[in-house]
Amino acid sequence: METGTKAINFLEKGLYWLLGGLFLFAGILKVRDPGQFAVDISNYQLLPWQAGVATALYVPWVEILAGFSLIANWNRPGALRLLLLLMLIFLHALFAVWLRGLNIECGCFGRELSTSNYAILFARDLLIFAGLGWLFQREWKHRIALELSSGASRSQDTSARDRGTP
Amino acid sequence: MSRKPAVQAIVILLLALFPALITAFWGPNRPNWDRDQLAEGEIRLTDALKTPNAIWIDARTKAEYDQEHVPGAALLNEDQWNSLLLAFASQWQPDQVIIVYCDSLQCDSSHQVAKRLQKELGAEKEKVLVLKGGWRSWKQAQKP
């Protein structure tokens, strides 16, 4: 295997671990105090209170399970898609409050690592999104290549059967 | 054979439901579904107005305080905590009830200020209360 390919594979594995750990950590921080997270969500003024409460109770567990999936390579493609979708929603919410000039705590990593500097928050979330996006396109390419190769081997089997050769 | 990504995502979403439901019913810090219900250490405006010998604290920003505030309220926010706390401590008597407010129902700074007052000023927990609904509830009550 070429050194370049090895390095990229190593980077890919490291990024799965890093991003998985990040979501696991963020989820655990929020799970410890869902009441506070509900207030943080409500500060965005995008959801009614009850919907915010449901989100505060549910989303951190999705983050924890999806983060664990990335690390443990269990249902990884599904977890990757879920986290990409979550990041899209987070970015949208953050951009919405930034535009409206609201001065709120992000709540992204609970209150321990909280900041309301939108430029930093937006840049951080974009970076995470880009990392997930890169992993997604690698996984996508790999999936297509696998499907093509399994399709090719199937057609070889069929033509061998047609010719009557083993 | 590996499952399709959509199925995998659904499996994760379904699995996340169980701990979420457990937290919703039995979690120690579970949020309150009824927003109008008072949380621990909160007081409604009607009761706050009836409290004798109360001292009011505005936990919003200085700009917001300068624009308008509850008459007689002292400014004490986390941005200028050290300097403002000294000024507040000089006018506060330990037997007074402190009522802290921030902007609205959704802001949290009043709760943070109340916690710090208990911790740093040694104020009794029962004597530091947060105004439910904050400044907006005050403004709402002033409307004819």
Taking a C-beta distance cutoff of 8 angstroms, is the pair B135, B104 a contact? yes
Do the chains contact at A57 and B23, CB–CB below 8 Å?
Answer: yes
Instruction: State the sign of the Cα–Cα–Cα–Cα dihedral A126, A104, A112, A65.
Output: negative
What pLDDT is recorded for position A90? 93
What pLDDT is recorded for position A161? 67
Of A34, A66, A81, the CB nearest to B31: A34
Please name which of B144, B116, B134 lies closest in space to residue B68, comparing C-alpha atoms: B134
What pLDDT is recorded for position B2? 59
Residue of chain B minimizing CA distance to A48? B35
Interface of chain A toward chain B, CB-CB under 8 angstroms = 31-40, 42-43, 45, 49-50, 53, 56-58, 61-62, 64-66, 69, 75-82, 103, 105
Cβ neighbours of residue A143 closer than 8 Å, sequence gap 6 or more:
A77
What pLDDT is recorded for position B1? 44
Q: How far apart are CA B71 and CA B36, in angstroms?
A: 25
Do the chains contact at B15 and A66, CB–CB below 8 Å?
Answer: no
Does B27 contact chain A (CB < 8 Å)? yes
- Global confidence as pTM: 0.70
Of B19, B31, B61, the CB nearest to A38: B31
Q: How far apart are CA A65 and CA A6, in angstroms?
A: 28
Task: Give the DSSP H/E element, type plus range, for residue B15.
Answer: helix B5-26
Residue of chain B minimizing CA distance to A32? B29
What pLDDT is recorded for position A84? 97
Please name which of B53, B52, B78, B47 lies closest in space to residue B141, comparing C-alpha atoms: B47
Please name which of A46, A28, A26, A19 lies closest in space to residue A104, comparing C-alpha atoms: A46
What pLDDT is recorded for position A40? 82
Residue pLDDT, tens place only, B120-140? 888 888 899 999 888 888 887
Do the chains contact at A43 and B107, CB–CB below 8 Å?
Answer: yes
What pLDDT is recorded for position B28? 78
Does B22 contact chain A (CB < 8 Å)? no
Do the chains contact at B12 and A38, CB–CB below 8 Å?
Answer: no
Question: Residues B63-89: what's their mean pLDDT?
Answer: 91
Cβ neighbours of residue A40 closer than 8 Å, sequence gap 6 or more:
A56, A104, A105, A106, A107, A111, B108
Q: How far is B31 from chain A (nearest CA, A)?
A: 4
Phi, psi of B36 (to 5 degrees): -80, -10
Please name which of A51, A77, A55 lies closest in space to residue A66, comparing C-alpha atoms: A77
**What ipTM describes this predicted complex?**
0.86
What pLDDT is recorded for position A42? 82
Q: How far apart are CA A92 and CA A87, in angstroms?
A: 8
What is the greatest pairwise CA distance in chain B? 73
Mean per-residue pLDDT of chain B: 88
B-interface mutation test, from A28, A55, A75, A104, most B Cβ less than 10 A away:
A75
Residue ranges of chain A with per-residue pLDDT less than 50 = none
Please name which of B105, B103, B89, B106 lies closest in space to residue B135, comparing C-alpha atoms: B103
Cα B71 from chain centroid (whole Å): 20
Please name the amino acid found at residue A142: H
Taking a C-beta distance cutoff of 8 angstroms, is the pair B129, B99 a contact? yes
Residue pLDDT, tens place only, A27-68? 999 998 888 788 788 878 899 989 999 999 999 999 999 999
What pLDDT is recorded for position A91? 94
Tokens of B139: 């403004």
Do the chains contact at A79 and B9, CB–CB below 8 Å?
Answer: yes
What pLDDT is recorded for position B140? 78
Does B25 contact chain A (CB < 8 Å)? no
Question: Rounded to the nearest 10 degrees, how much is the dihedral formed by the CA atoms of A130, A133, A139, A145?
Answer: -110
